[in-house]
Amino acid sequence: MTAPVPQRIIHVGLAGLGNVGAGVHKNLEKNRDLIRQRTGADIRVKRVVVRDPTRARDVQLPEEVLGTDWHALVEDPEIQVIVELIGGTTTAHELVCAALRAKKIVVTGNKALLAERGQELFALAEQCGVPIYFEAAVAGGIPIIQVLQEGLVGNRILSIHGIINGTCNYILTRMSQAGLSYADALREAQEKGYAEADPTLDVSGWDAAHKAIILASLSYGFWIPQDKVHVEGVEHIDPADFRFAQQLGYTIKLLSVIRADDKGLVEVRTQPALVPLSHVLASVSGSFNAVLVNGDIVGETLFYGRGAGQDPTSSSVISDLCEAAAVLVYGARHSGFVPHGLYGRSKPVEDTVSHYYLRLTVDDVPGVMAQVAAVLGRRQIGISSMIQPEDLEDTSGRTTIVLMIHDASLGAMQAALEEIGALACVREKPSWMRVETLQG
Residues that are catalytic? 211
Contact 383, 407 (CB under 8 A): no
- Around Cβ 384, how many Cβ atoms within 10 Å? 12
Burial class (CB in 10 A: 0-12, 13-18, 19+), 25: buried
Q: Can you tell me whether residue 292 is helix, strand or coil?
A: strand
Helices (H), 161-205: 166-178, 182-191, 200-203
DSSP state, 7? P
Nearest CA among 241, 274, 181 for reference residue 400: 241
- d(CA 78, CA 60) in angstroms, rounded, equals 22
132 Cβ neighbours under 8 A, 6+ residues apart? 96, 100, 105, 106, 107, 108, 121, 122, 125, 335, 336, 337
Contact 350, 425 (CB under 8 A): no
C-alpha separations of 161 from 254, 279, 289, 308, 330 in Å? 10, 12, 11, 18, 35
Chain centroid to CA 37 = 33
Q: What is the CA radius of gyration of the chain?
A: 24
